[in-house]
Amino acid sequence: MLEAKNIHFKYSEEPVLTDISLKAEPGKILAIIGPNGSGKTTLIKILGRILKAHSGTVLLNNKNIWSVHDAARKIAWVAQNNKLAWPFSVKQITLMGRFPHRGWLSSYTKDDYKAVEQALNKTGLKELKDRLINTLSGGEVQRAIIARALAQEPDILLLDEPVAHLDLKYKVAVINLIKSLADHGIAVVISLHDLNLAAQYADRVILLKGGKLFAAGVPSSILNQKNLEEVYETKVNIVYYNNLPFIIPVLDKNP
Amino acid sequence: MTGMLKKRKSTFIIVFIILLILLFFLILISMCIGSVPLSFSDVVDVIIYKLPFLNNFLDNDNSVQIDEGIVSIVWDYRLGRSLVAVMVGISLAASGAVFQGLFRNPLADPFIIGASSGAALGSTLAIVFGFSVSFLGFTPIPFAAFLGALISVALIYAFTRTGSSSPPAVTLLLAGTALSSLFFACVSIIMSVSENDLHKIFFWLLGSLNGRTWPHLLAILPYFIISLGIIFILARPLDIMAFGEETASGMGLNVKRARILIVVSASLATASAVSISGIIGFVGLIAPHIARLLFGPAHKRLIPASAVIGALLLVVSDDLARTLLESRELPIGVLTALLGAPFFLYLLKSKQNTLGGE
Amino acid sequence: MISKNLFYVGLILFFITGCARELPENDLQAYKLDEISGIENEIVLPIAVEDLLSRKVLFNEIPARIVSLVPAATEIFFSVGAGVKLVGVTEYCTYPPEAQLKQIVGGYTAETMSLEKIIYLDPDLVIVGGEYHRTVITALENGGINVFSMEMRTIKDVYNNIYFAGFITNNTENAKLRIEYMKEKENKISELVLQIPESSRKTVFWEIWSEPLMTAGGKSFINELIEISGGKNIFSYMDAEYPVISTEDVIYKNPEVIFGTLDNLESLENIEIRTGWNTISAVQNDRVFLLDENIVSRPGPRIINALGLIAKNLYPEIFNNYFDGEDPLLW
């Protein structure tokens, strides 16, 4: 599937990622968490063939991802901020997800339209398919972008902070969607800053601090007080509910 | 709420064909109007004279003696000129649409990375130094304008490259703006010390199709065909680039290749238009927006629609430029603005949601 | 204290108001230019003269240091023998050649004039063009310098200004001689033209610029030259000086003669290869003439040479008969 081995990356002389390795498995959600600036977005971009690591490799089905020219047929990357320059409709946006399969010139076929329909169904956007994207709510936009990613028919879905700016209702809807996609066999890698979401939904978690891999494993063992207080440099309390950890930051009421 | 006709392919094709037919009739009308009063039958006589096979369809007495001067007026200075207007309109509108797509900026126009300033400087230098080399069917000044436009774009591109990757859009835009200012400043300096040639330089800066006919059309035809050809295959990449360059590359688009092709094709189209008509503003900005408001943003429709709208706008503007005042010619840039702006504002008002941009 | 301040205020006001050289209304009667031409006697100072911008200019003395911002005016002063009084000219004052030995103070437009240089030359008279020199006029007036506008539009303007130039520099006799000489040629040309029946008058297209195509309209002095020479300017009906026109008008009106300037066109070929121009009578019959820009575009003393050149090219045999083969370039 998708594997990263010893990834190093820097912007000019600043090291951003140091010796990161991970593996994404089909049907599982891998959450990348850590404070702002810990390198989450950069890591997802490297996995998604948007940025190239300075050393280390990313392997897609055991091949170096940069030698796979139609990688977009297998991996779909969803950015943190999605603002389209022009008011396309949901359907048009989703159809663009077929680009990796058709290229610059080939006409779209029945298969392409079928994939679009499926993507729209999975994201619950069938009713909204002719709506223009600038008339949609934040959650609907996010789902539309995910629909586009799904139309690529990827085996691997990479999402950078997909629910960061969404209302509770849409947060839940999108995360549930992502979960169902994983349940259908897609390997999902998702960066989150909401620790509790990570705790609830991720099968595995990677905790970054300063670009280094601080800890990796299942949420219930990684998300403990010691790790979190060290990485986030603040006091937390952990409460357990249904065996899942819930992180509550401690607010210092007495100065 | 949806782009008026974007949904059904058949509707688009019908409207597009209607626009083409409209263009065709406008060109016919252009042949009938001008500062010289010719009758409709004069025009018909010329058409039959030039296209003798039409005699099979018309019941015409082809023993009429025809005045060569009248033939030249109708065929060269009305039809030829209108076709030049069509080509210039198409080139400017298509390259405007393409630059808007590349920069994801609704204010982008064909001159955004400096082509116009390069053309202005090239033609100004050629005028002032009496440059007299003709090349490939271009007369000296158009040739200098063409070269100037291409050189300035190449300079910008080369200057902003970082290592082996092609420069990101924002860098191109900023560098283009800076270079434009520099070149136009040079033009101003030259103008202030070359009082004798001021008229000619102004002509280039204001834009005009005065005297433009078949030789000019033929000179730019190859560049027109090449650039438009490339632009048409850029439809899908331009759609994808609406997501931003990172997502586009994540979707498998070779962004570097797309960027180079966009810059080359649009600059070539712009350079060839400017070389024969001077700098005609507004069309390259407005036509794509009108097209987008009518047909939606998908480039497969946007680019041909912009092209036709650009052609229509320019033919009508040119017709007015040469007929509004008795015997005198107005600068065409004034008319493209006078015609395009109100129409665009009207469309804008009725479709406020659908302008787009970052 | 108060009175001292009042005095200073009054002094400043006096200088500000007194600096403008335009004549207060109820003073000397200002002579119009054609009235000056009627003065047979020597100049009597002070004298007020109205220039072509309708400005009344007061002369208290014979000017000794003159700056000319108009090439035609430079030629005029030289032609009446007052060239020695010129201390400053423009870079376009190329005739006579001696003019270029003077100090150069600017180009054509007001922005190109170096006011510093003009003032430094300490002139008592500055000759300017028309409204396009307004900023220069205002600046010089404020500096207390006499400014006179010589923007000549007709032959009559030229004669009147030649006379004025002679008159004001005490060279009246020279002026008279020059004008007589010019009028003699002009009258001879008019006589010659009278011999040509209306139906044989040649139609003329005068090309000022090629890109854009610009011609001399009814309001230009070139139009007047064409008419005096017996030609019919195909664009004389246009109520403008130098309008931009379309080629189709030229082709349709089919002029028998085309005039252009060497500066602009460089060679006849440039006209002949133009699309559709081969249908024009002038091109077909080789009656396209390129003339020296400096002679035909400057309404000054050489306007008579321009007139001669035009007449000669329009009606060569008749002209040669009348003028015994004289070359108008040498007049």
- Specify the CATH number for the domain of residue B105: 1.10.3470.10
Supply C298's token pair: 């400057």
Please tell me whether residues A148 and A168 are part of one structural domain: no
The pLDDT tens digits of the residues spanning C74-130 come to: 999 999 999 999 999 999 999 999 999 999 999 888 888 999 999 999 999 999 999
Q: Which of A91, A122, A153 is the last residue of a domain?
A: A153
Count of residues making up chain C: 331
B65 or A220: whose pLDDT is higher? A220
Tell whether the model's pLDDT for residue B198 goes beyond 50: yes
Determine contact: C316 vs chain B, CB below 8 A.
Answer: no
Cα separations in angstroms, B245 against B101, B157, B170, B255, B356: 11, 17, 11, 7, 17
Please tell me whether residues A173 and A248 are part of one structural domain: yes
pLDDT at res. B18: 95
pTM: 0.86
Helix (H, G, I), strand (E, B) or coil at C66: strand
Please, is B267 exposed, middle or buried when counting C-beta atoms within 10 Å of its C-beta (0-12, 13-18, 19+)? buried
Element (H, E) at B151: helix B140-160
**Percentage, residues of chain B above pLDDT 90:** 47
Cα first-last separation, chain A: 50
- Averaged pLDDT of chain C: 88
Please tell me whether residues A47 and A164 are part of one structural domain: yes
Please tell me whether residues A163 and A146 are part of one structural domain: no
Determine contact: B6 vs chain A, CB below 8 A.
Answer: yes
Question: How much is the average pLDDT of A69-83?
Answer: 90
Domain interval for residue B349: 38-354
pLDDT at res. C175: 93
B219 within some domain: yes
Q: Which among B2, B233, B250 has the least Cβ separation from residue A50?
A: B250
pLDDT at res. C10: 53
- Which segment of A78-92, B109-123, C10-24 scores lowest on mean pLDDT? C10-24
Tell whether the model's pLDDT for residue B58 goes beyond 70: no
Confidence of residue A96 (pLDDT cuts 50, 70, 90): very high
**Nearest-Cα residue of chain C relative to residue B321:** C246
Q: Which of A131, A153, A175 is the last residue of a domain?
A: A153
The pLDDT tens digits of the residues spanning B331-348 come to: 898 899 888 888 888 877
Question: How much is the average pLDDT of A191-208?
Answer: 92
Please, is A134 exposed, middle or buried when counting C-beta atoms within 10 Å of its C-beta (0-12, 13-18, 19+)? middle
B144 within some domain: yes
Contact A85 B242 (CB under 8 A): yes
Count of residues making up chain A: 255
Total structural domains in chain A?
A: 2
Domain interval for residue A149: 83-153
Please tell me whether residues A142 and A217 are part of one structural domain: no
Q: At residue C149, what is the residue type?
A: S
B27 within some domain: no
The pLDDT tens digits of the residues spanning B281-311 come to: 889 999 999 999 889 999 999 999 999 999 9
Total structural domains in chain B?
A: 1
pLDDT at res. B267: 92
The pLDDT tens digits of the residues spanning B247-284 come to: 999 999 999 899 999 999 999 999 999 988 988 988 99
Query: Distance (Å) from the C-alpha of residue B92 to the closest C-alpha of chain A?
Result: 20
In this structure, CATH architecture of domain C182-324: 3-Layer(aba) Sandwich (3.40)
Query: Distance (Å) from the C-alpha of residue A88 to the closest C-alpha of chain B?
Result: 6
Question: How much is the average pLDDT of A189-193?
Answer: 93
All structural domains of chain C with their residue ranges: 19-151, 182-324
CA distance A171 to A137: 12
Confidence of residue C18 (pLDDT cuts 50, 70, 90): very low
pLDDT at res. C40: 74
Contact B246 A45 (CB under 8 A): yes
Tell whether the model's pLDDT for residue A160 goes beyond 80: yes
B139 or B218: whose pLDDT is higher? B218
Q: Which of A130, A153, A176 is the last residue of a domain?
A: A153
pLDDT at res. A100: 95
Please tell me whether residues A43 and A11 are part of one structural domain: yes
Tell whether the model's pLDDT for residue C41 goes beyond 80: no
Mutate to test the interface with A, among B236, B238, B293 (most CBs of A within 10 A): B236
Please tell me whether residues A40 and A158 are part of one structural domain: yes
Question: How much is the average pLDDT of B44-63?
Answer: 75
Mutate to test the interface with B, among A104, A108, A129 (most CBs of B within 10 A): A104
Determine contact: B164 vs chain C, CB below 8 A.
Answer: no
Tell whether the model's pLDDT for residue C17 goes beyond 70: no
CATH code for the domain defined by C19-151? 3.40.50.1980
Question: How much is the average pLDDT of C144-151?
Answer: 92
The pLDDT tens digits of the residues spanning B71-115 come to: 999 999 999 999 999 999 999 999 999 999 999 988 899 998 888
Please tell me whether residues A105 and A173 are part of one structural domain: no
**Percentage, residues of chain B above pLDDT 70:** 91
Mutate to test the interface with B, among C211, C266, C269 (most CBs of B within 10 A): C211
Cα separations in angstroms, C295 against C181, C209, C303: 17, 16, 7
Contact A88 B242 (CB under 8 A): yes
H, E, C per residue of B107-121: CCCCCCCCHHHHHHH
Q: At residue A42, what is the residue type?
A: T
Contact B196 C263 (CB under 8 A): yes
pLDDT at res. A166: 84
- Averaged pLDDT of chain B: 86
Confidence of residue A150 (pLDDT cuts 50, 70, 90): very high
Question: How much is the average pLDDT of C61-83?
Answer: 94
